[in-house]
Chain A
C-alpha cells in the first residue's frame, strides 16, 4: 500500500437510527500521520463517527475504508483483525471494572489469539504503556480505585499498548479539570509524536485542538514544546472538523477555522465566552 492511500476514508456515510440521523452523508479522508480534531456540540455525532470507523455501528449507506480495505460489509468476526490495528479511548472509559489496571491494559495483547505474545513480553509492554502515562505504580489496582483523570490515562495506555497506526480518542478531556485536561492532551501529543500515530480526537474543547496543532514532544529534552511554525497554519497535517446534527459542516486548518463567520462554527473558537466551559 502506498503511503498516500488514506488510512481511513468515509464516502457519503449515513448512519440512520430510525428516529434520528447519527451521521448525515459524511465524506472524508485521513492520511498517515494526520491529526483530526472533531469539534461539535453534544449530540452532533462525534461519537457515532468514531464508532462507525471501528465497525461498532453500521452505516445505513455509504462506504468505509480502513487501511485501504473496504470494511463496509464485513461481519463481526471479520472486523476483529481490522479493529486490532486501531487504538481507541472511549468517552465513558470502557475500562473493565472486574479486571485490574494491568489486566485491562494487557487485554488487547492477550486477546490476540492469532499471534499471541509470550507473557513476559506482555508484561513488559503493559509496564511500558502504563509508565508512558505515568501510572506505573497502579498495576494491581482496579479502575474504581482511581480518579477520573487516572482512568482516562489508563484508557490511553490500553489504546496505545498494541502500537496502533491510527488511534481514536472520544472526548478524552470531558469532565476533567483544566490541569488534568492539559495532562491528557499532552500525553496524546506525546503519543502522536513518539510513535507517529495518526490521531483523531472528538472533543468539546477547542483548546485540545489548539494544543495538538501547536505543540510537539521533543524526545531529546523529553518535554512538550511549541511547534516551529511553517507559516500561520502551524502544522498543516492537523485539521479541524466541526460537526452539527450528524453533518460535517467545517473542514480546515486552525487559521481557516478562525476566519469562519458561521456562528455555530465560530462558537468553538471562543472557548472563554462559553459559560459551560466547553
Chain B
C-alpha cells in the first residue's frame, strides 16, 4: 500500500548519504584544489553580474514600495531602515540563492548528468577516481564559500539601489537614508543573513550534484535532471528560509 512512498524515501536517503559522504570527503586526500578554484570562479565570478542586477533592482523597488506605505504614517525617512533590514535578513539571501540555484544547480545537474549518461562517471570509478571527491566536494565547497560573499554584495548594492531611489525620487537626504539604515541593522540580522546563504549553498550544490549523478536515459534524462534540480533547489530554499527565520524570530520574541 505504501509502495508509492518507496521511491521518494529511497531518494531522500540517497540524497543524505551523498551529503554525508561529501562532507566526510572534505577531509580526505586527494583534495582537488584546482577543481575548487575553477568552481569558485564559475559560481562566484560567473554569478556576479546577475547578482548585482537583481540586488540593485530589488533594493530600488523596495524603496519605492516602502516609501509609499511609510508616507501614510508620515515616516518616509524610515525607508532606509526597512530596505536595509528586509534585504539583509531576507531578500538578499533568498534572491541571491535563487539566482545561483537557477544558474548553478542546473549547471551542475547538466554537467554531471552528461558525464553520467556518457559513462564518464563509470570511467572515473573504473580508473581509480572517486566521483564524490573529484566532482561533488569542490562544487559543494565552492558554493558554500561564494554564496555568502555574493549575498553581502547583493545586500550592499540593494541598499545602494534603495538610496538612489530615496534620494532621486523621494527627495530624502543621504544622511537620513544611510544613518537610519546603518543603525537599524543588528548583529543577529547579519548572522541570519549569512547563515541562510551558507545553508542554502549545501542544498543548491548537493541537489544539483545528486540529480546529475542519478541522471539516466540519455540526453532526455539530462534535461529532466536539470529541470528537477532547479525546481527542487528553489523549493528547498523557501522551506529552509522559513525554518531559519523562525529560529531567529523565535529568539527575539
Contact = CB atoms under 8 A, between A and B. Distances in A.
Contacts of B123: 88, 90, 94-96
Contacts of B118: 92-94, 97
Contacts of B119: 90-94
B127 A56 contact: no
Interface in A67-82: 76-77, 79-80
Contacts of A88: 123, 126
B128 interface: yes
Interface string B104-122: 0000000000000111101
A91 B120 CA distance: 11
Contacts of B130: 76-77
A84 B128 contact: yes
A83 interface: yes
B126 A54 contact: yes
A271 B130 CA distance: 40
Given A92-B117, A92-B118, A94-B118, A56 B129 contact: no
A60 interface: no
Contacts of A56: 122, 125-126
A158 to B, nearest CB: 8
Contact of A112 (B120, B125, B128): B128
Contacts of A96: 120, 123-124
B128 A90 contact: no
Contacts, number: 49
A51 interface: yes
Given A92-B117, A113-B30, A80 B128 contact: yes
Contacts of A255: none
Contacts of A83: 125-128
B122 A108 contact: no
A222 to B, nearest CB: 30
A112 B126 CA distance: 12
Nearest to A47: B119
A107 interface: yes
A35 B126 CA distance: 21
Contacts of A54: 126
A29 interface: no
Contacts of A119: none
A183 interface: no
A91 B130 CA distance: 20
A124 interface: no
Contacts of A84: 128
A218 interface: no
Contacts of B124: 96
A111 B129 contact: yes
A237 to B, nearest CB: 25
A84 B120 CA distance: 16
A93 B120 CA distance: 8
The 4 lowest CB-CB distance pairs between A and B, nearest first, are A94-B123, A94-B119, A90-B119, A92-B119
Interface of B: 30, 117-120, 122-130
Interface of A: 51, 54, 56, 76-77, 79-80, 83-84, 86, 88, 90-97, 107-108, 111-113
Given A92-B117, A107-B127, 6 more contacts: A76-B125, A84-B128, A93-B118, A94-B119, A96-B123, A111-B128
